[in-house]
Amino acid sequence: MLWRLAIGTASFHNVLSGPSTAVTLRHQCMSLNPGDKLMWCDDSLDQSEIDILCGVYYVFTGQSSQQVTKSWWPPVQVWENNMRLGFWNEEYESLFATRLREIRSGTAVPLTSEQWRKRIRPFAVVRRAFDNTSKSANILLHSLSNGL
């Protein structure tokens, strides 16, 4: 979900311009070592940047100083636990487009993590099917390779 939210705000030029100085000065990055004495580095998001993309608010509940976290978009942890497939699909785009329409029309409100869980849980069936298919395929391929 984060990448989908980011492409609405980041320019193509900024994305392709490479790592920012945060990578070298603050070592705030993700790195990939593909071998051959190479190392690729790129910017990573810190939690405050993730919260900004998801539209996080900390709202007082009215009970002493207790706060609840609400967001316009699903928190990363909720998304990854229920939806992560490793790729974007039509179901996810539909969920995104529906939510964007709600926000633009003024009918949306920020939701808690539990409200987000309930809202996206029906979509999690796709992830579970993908996980089960992947596990079955791995078992089959492993058993076939042992016979060679």
Q: What is the rounded CA–CA span in Å between residue 88 and residue 80?
A: 12
Global pTM exceeds 0.75: no
Mark the ranges of the chain whose per-residue pLDDT is less than 50. none
Alpha carbon distances (Å) from 50 to 23, 60, 75: 17, 21, 9
Annotated domain spans of the chain: 2-146
What's the pLDDT at 29? 72
Contacts of 72 (CB under 8 A, 6+ apart): 54, 55, 99, 103, 108, 110
Q: Token pair for residue 120?
A: 């996206």
What pLDDT digit, counting tens, does each position of 11-44 carry? 778 777 777 777 777 676 777 777 777 777 777 7
Q: What is the rounded CA–CA span in Å between residue 132 and residue 143?
A: 17
What's the pLDDT at 104? 97
